[in-house]
Structure 1
């Protein structure tokens, strides 16, 4: 046996031993931390059962699916339904509604959590601070059914708001709930009221990590409160803001089915119908399963492209990104 053959044999034996040790190390670690993985199991099962397994059903986007023929025997049509997306004017209008509503939520609702967190961070009375935090967190735990019910009571034609406007200014009843022009502003205001308090949790945690000596030095230098916010607070939490914005862009076409569905009616359908509700109407009510699935798959693809693009852009500007 020559030296080269011997070296090759020793190297192969070493690689085999290293892999065996690695397997034993992984098995030992899994057993050592078995209780932690047991706690992880319910969440993991949730994502597997309700997120990943249903993805197999996306194959009907490439079929003329018939419930009577099933997945295996329905006719394959390739990209027929995806081509139909760009030919159907209703789909174009629905995509525009979704993008516009998502843009409004990012511009108006997303910054509210940041502003609210910064204001809460300035409160020095701990009891009062906890009270305000509890009050602004509370709406998050209400279902959209309850929220829309409250909005309906307040904004219907004979509701409290219209009565106050009539008493104060003599105005006729404003059709808030049936007007296309009021639909999107109401959606954004509802999101702000319900979710802004909950969104402050992450920003408050980020603000807690800001070094207090930076503010002390700024005060010594004569910086005003606004200067401190602009030059210390916002740069310190910029990474958190970027990561949450990237995640928000990933779901830019997901504006909330339940809220939109409960607010929709025949009079505001033109401006209120979004991709999620369109998929419901097409797939469930009209039984056009394949086309509805193609629209949903197209939405997911756009979301993936946006989150990857935003992540790369964030890294280019020196931020960590999501991955």
Structure 2
């Protein structure tokens, strides 16, 4: 397919509606690799939360939070009110949940279960998840150690909630599940990744026509156009790593203005910063030290002028100043969350 760059730029924002932003809670939360959950105060204080072990991911639902937990009996999706009191729970039907998303109208939640190759879809009623509809992925990649079976690693809603996208590291694919009435009614491969690349996470361009995908096993950033039928078309790809270095990309995010893209590099322990002056062609402008070891996740906090980095092999998180031009300043010690793997506000 021939891409008309001018037409694409002119049409950005026309086809895919992104989830409406929920009002963030005043108190942040972080998850540790030891399974613990920690509250993050606005002034920098940290306290351990009395939540079930195995917190993996959490998102605000407007009045409280949804959170997913990993345990010996499998994954659990729990709805909480603003005071972290449980409103109800449901099993995800899989193991090792690694990502959670909520539909734009907050009527449906989805969970990516890394082990077993499943995605669970839950209707929500007053923030309480219903029984899971389990959708099973199929496929494998050439990396026998990492891709012997499907491994969903990220989920997100597109097209105003009509599509549930699932990035599968094991199958080298992005699946698109069509949602009708809160249930998956059809599934297709929206994008087939290069063999062995191990796609991990996606970030949407705020104008809605582009997606930026990072692949863990080859540490590359791929720019994708979102087509009207829900499929993706490749525009270009480039490394996220410093020249001559090896590692594993972790997370990707785009700022609210669509001017800068950030990706974390585990191993080299940097945050790659890309300029999006031309959103079709991200331009690498900085490799900033992440302030710790193994940056699994980072959280942009423009209202505080900072990036919060969850360094999974460090005794505390790191804080990097967000400069006016979108670059990152020197890291300083952040919240004392050991082995942090995720944070949300």
Higher-Rg member (1/2): 1
Is this a same-fold pair by TM over 0.5? Answer: no
Higher relative contact order (CA 8 A, sep 6+): 1
Give the structure with the higher percent helix: 1
